Structure 1
């Protein structure tokens, strides 16, 4: 990809900084990590566009500025262990620049193998790619200080909540009646305190959708 480094710099200057992303660790990570390395070949030329990218029907990755703001909302510390639920490995590679240890939960074995090769290529040695249903999380790496869901949620499965450490947090884009807003859920014992942030939209992930009542005449 020609001038990829320049495109990354332009993405940060024109998309990320103007979107109130003030954490310099995030802008540094987005300047350094090649997004194109984590995308299918057909999407490489769109790697630094400010739009969501469709990976497969019903599967997408967030625009860079939305992802950056979601990571900032998580307030990740250098000692944190983080679970990133995503369609590709890019978000976890960014988080790996901020956290001590990252588990990237991807939808299938092919995606995990692709991400593993990408992590090796970019020296993201603290990121582990695994495959499995997003709704189940990854209990082998729990408990997590942060769970970052790159996608829309209408609910958070109970099994995933149990994988979050006390005083840990989950960030995602809550979708209710087609309206989306980034949220942070902060664990306090058996309860979660909810803090809403910026407006955004994302496709709900499988297993994170509320059951709709059947229509009755």
Structure 2
């Protein structure tokens, strides 16, 4: 049976994004155009547009492609604009970077897993995304070489404010990430203005965690 991925993209946008207050036309158009199925394992392609996180790498807790709704809302919260330099932290196989590349000027796609970085590089190049550079390195450290950034988007839950990433924002820059796991997760926006950083939690979001941003347990006697 032939799967109509274009029809599935339309249903995803209409049923998962528009219904959860994703209204930014650039984001909706990008998610209508980018082939999400190209960024998931072959056996999961028919499930690429379902309203669920999709595992893209094994392990505990593993790595996932975030559900469309919280991802779209995070990008909208980051207020990504044409011409922006964006750092995509934990790009996985590259889908998030593909969306951001359709909205921003240039995307630095940071990935710590060598296999995922390779897949992202191959898939993005194969689809003609020439305004994305895939960088392999530790997620929690960001990528200082191309900093500062207009926007930083973190592709998974963190335990606390990612200070190293916040330090790589330019003045007027925005960083978005979900702080906390499960039902306690809150999508949070950090903004740097006149050298000072402010933050506010904006909406509830349950997304898979990124292991690199786990809080180190304090030593107890």
Q: Same fold (TM over 0.5)?
A: yes
Q: Does 1:113 align with 2:114?
A: no
Instruction: State the partner residue of 1:45.
Output: 46
Instruction: State the partner residue of 1:184.
Output: 189
Query: Deviation of residue 124 (structure 1)?
Result: 1.4
Q: Structure 2 CA distance, aligned partners of 1:136 and 1:215?
A: 26
Report Cα offsets for 1:65-116 as digits up to 9, x if no partner: 1111111000011011000012231011101111000011112222122112
Q: In the alignment, is the contact (CA less than 8 A) between 2:188 and 2:201 conserved in 1?
A: yes
Q: Structure 2 CA distance, aligned partners of 1:18 and 1:187?
A: 30
Instruction: State the partner residue of 2:66.
Output: 62
Instruction: State the partner residue of 1:81.
Output: 85
Q: Structure 2 CA distance, aligned partners of 1:12 and 1:109?
A: 31
Q: In the alignment, is the contact (CA less than 8 A) between 1:52 and 1:63 conserved in 2?
A: yes
Q: In the alignment, is the contact (CA less than 8 A) between 1:148 and 1:170 conserved in 2?
A: yes
Moved more, 168-177 or 8-17: 168-177
Q: Structure 1 CA distance, aligned partners of 2:203 and 2:148?
A: 27
Q: In the alignment, is the contact (CA less than 8 A) between 2:181 and 2:207 conserved in 1?
A: no
* Structure 1 unaligned spans of 5+: none
Q: Structure 2 CA distance, aligned partners of 1:88 and 1:192?
A: 31
Query: Deviation of residue 40 (structure 1)?
Result: 1.7
Q: Structure 1 CA distance, aligned partners of 2:162 and 2:186?
A: 18
Normalised TM-score (structure 2)? 0.90
Query: Deviation of residue 178 (structure 1)?
Result: 6.0
Normalised TM-score (structure 1)? 0.92
Q: Structure 2 CA distance, aligned partners of 1:93 and 1:77?
A: 15
* Root-mean-square deviation (Å): 1.9
Q: Kindly report structure 1 stretches of 4+ aligned residues shifted beyond 6 Å.
A: none
Query: Deviation of residue 162 (structure 1)?
Result: 2.1
Query: Deviation of residue 189 (structure 1)?
Result: 5.0
Query: Deviation of residue 144 (structure 1)?
Result: 0.6
Instruction: State the partner residue of 1:171.
Output: 176
Q: Structure 1 CA distance, aligned partners of 2:181 and 2:188?
A: 12
Q: In the alignment, is the contact (CA less than 8 A) between 2:181 and 2:209 conserved in 1?
A: no
Q: In the alignment, is the contact (CA less than 8 A) between 2:3 and 2:46 conserved in 1?
A: no
Instruction: State the partner residue of 1:72.
Output: 76
Q: Does 1:200 align with 2:211?
A: no
SS in 2 for 1:44: helix
Q: In the alignment, is the contact (CA less than 8 A) between 1:111 and 1:131 conserved in 2?
A: no
Q: Structure 1 CA distance, aligned partners of 2:155 and 2:33?
A: 20
SS in 2 for 1:97: helix
Query: Deviation of residue 206 (structure 1)?
Result: 2.5
Residues matched between the structures, number:
216
